[in-house]
Amino acid sequence: MKVGPAFVRTVRHFFPDFNTWLDKVPDPRCQERITYGPRFLLWYGLLLFVGKLGSRRELDFKYREAGTCVLDNLNRLAQTDQQTIPCNDTLDDYLAKVHAAEAPVHPIANVRTKTIHRLIRMRVLDEARVQGRLVVGVDGSGYLVFRWEHCRHCLTQKCGDRILYCHKVLEAKILGPAQTVLSLASEFIDNQDLADSPANTGEQQRKQDCELKASRRLLQSVRAAFPQLLLCLSLDALYACGAGFQLGKDFRVSLVIVFKEGSIPTLWQEFQTLLTLCPANRLEERENGWRHEYRWVDELHYVDSDRRAWKLKAIQYQGEGPKGEKSHWAWLVSYDLVVSKATVARIVWGAGRPRWWEENQGFNVQKNSGLNLEHAYSEKEHFGVYYLLLQIAHVLLQLLEKGSLLRELARSAGKRSAVALLGSLKNIADCLVESLRNWVWPDEAFGAAGKIQIRLDSS
């Protein structure tokens, strides 16, 4: 049951000012006779996801049951003195009001920004930098689907003779050390994006339009929150076009974009021709039975359909495994990145390939591990608040899962790893809920943050 205190220590270590950040979220009075402070309610909302309860109703069953220690632990986490645990509708009312509070930036998104700022300042993410830049994957995902018109912003999708109403989201996630995937900014894609695209273009083209438009808004909010941060975007082939390259220029970010033959056929042809003309731009390495071959072109020229001229670089990777497995990739790389024998492998493994983490460790984990991303935690218009709380909770959980505290806990119990101790990493949330319910967490867990060191496990 030591997972609970390990969670508290993790939060205290990385984010000693977390409660002050929560205090900045507006405090619109709730209708309830008993009013709860925002800090308490926000922690309660975060614990919905930290405990992976899966639905808002579960809060009433898991955290409100009489005779448990939840109130005690929650009060100490939030440094509050509440006398009761709210019912889940009280939380929902409060979050609806937070959502409605007019602010240029969503107040919960501000809390997320502060957590990321702090990790950057602590240099926790430095190990994952490529040529000094933090690598950020940008990727879209389906999010909520309803059978009825849920709000005026729903995207519609035909499914047989029925119409589905859905919401999509575009995420910028830092691809950090120890395969952490940390939400940096989120942008919802809605019917406004579709409305602006010409209806006579194909569905694929409109989808691309939608995402490219949303990506500009996404990067605007990234730049508003992190104006000077050195960034390298890791993007899929959708961005291998003039509009994608323009993102790099407008938002001062480097680019590593998946390059497929079909993306820009003429440029692909030129790339292949130039590869044969510069045989010196080649590196071969062997590792664990794999043979890695990297080849690259230093200068590719391209004029897009808007007559903008671009100068790019491109990398081709071919790998062959011990059992004859084949792996074949190519990327377009913005001209500001240095591609050489010394840097090419790092670009491939540090910026190109990790894009898959975003899908695997990011969206899949959030959809399938109990975080239940595709569940409508509220069917009202403020569902996005839950989305943001989920993102913050997932950051906290990853720091716990990948941090050295759990490893040390396992070692002291004579086990090799946290997984050996807890059965699986998925069990961490269950253990946390157990611990929250059944054990008053000891004072020392809430003690001075400076006394402990937590490292992320990259092995």
Determine the residue with CB nearest Zn ion. 151
Q: Which amino acid is at 382?
A: H
Residue 32 in tokens: 């309830």
Rank residues 13 and 382 by Cβ distance to Zn ion and give the closer one.
382
151 sits near Zn ion (criterion: CB under 5 A): yes
Backbone angles phi, psi at 260, to 5 degrees: -115, 155
Shortest distance, position 58 Cβ to Zn ion, whole Å: 23
Q: Does 150 bind Zn ion (CB under 5 A)?
A: yes
Residue 154 or residue 390: which is nearer to Zn ion going by CB?
154
- How big is the CA angle at 406 (ends 400 and 408), to the nearest 5 degrees? 140
Task: Please tell me what DSSP assigns to residue 319.
Answer: E
Residue 194 makes contact with Zn ion by CB under 5 A: no
Closer by beta carbon to Zn ion, 150 or else 207: 150
Question: How close are the terminal C-alpha atoms of the chain, in Å?
Answer: 25
**57-70 residues labelled b (16+ CB within 10 A) or e (exposed):** ebbeebbeeeebeb
Site membership for Zn ion, residue 382 (CB under 5 A): no
| Segment near Zn ion (CB under 5 A); pick from 78-86, 150-158, 237-245, 365-373 | 150-158
R_g (Cα) of the chain, nearest Å: 24
164 binds Zn ion (CB under 5 A): no
* Minimum CB distance to Zn ion smaller for 162 or for 328: 162
Q: Binding Zn ion by CB under 5 A: which of 53, 111, 154, 371?
A: 154
With contacts defined by CB under 5 A, name the span among 82-90, 118-126, 143-151, 266-274 that binds Zn ion.
143-151
Compute the least distance from the CB of residue 143 to Zn ion, in Å.
Answer: 10
Cβ–Cβ < 8 Å for 63, 47: yes
CB of 187 to Zn ion, least distance (A): 15
DSSP 440: P
Looking at beta carbons only, is 318 or 378 nearer to Zn ion? 378
The reply to whether 402 sits near Zn ion by the rule CB under 5 A is no
Q: Decide if 51 contacts 390 (C-beta within 8 A).
A: no
Does 257 bind Zn ion (CB under 5 A)? Our answer is: no
How far apart are CB 217 and Zn ion at their closest, in Å?
Answer: 18
Runs of H (alpha helix) within 27-86: 38-50, 57-62, 70-78
Pairing between strand 134-146 and 231-235?
parallel
Beta-carbon contacts of residue 359 (< 8 Å; ≥ 6 apart): 139
Does 169 engage in binding with Zn ion (CB under 5 A)? no
State the nearest-atom distance from the C-beta of 378 to Zn ion, in Å: 11
CB of 153 to Zn ion, least distance (A): 5
What's the token pair of residue 196?
């602006």
Q: Is 209 helix (H, G, I), strand (E, B) or coil?
A: helix
CB of 95 to Zn ion, least distance (A): 16
Interacting residues with Zn ion (CB under 5 A): 150-151, 154
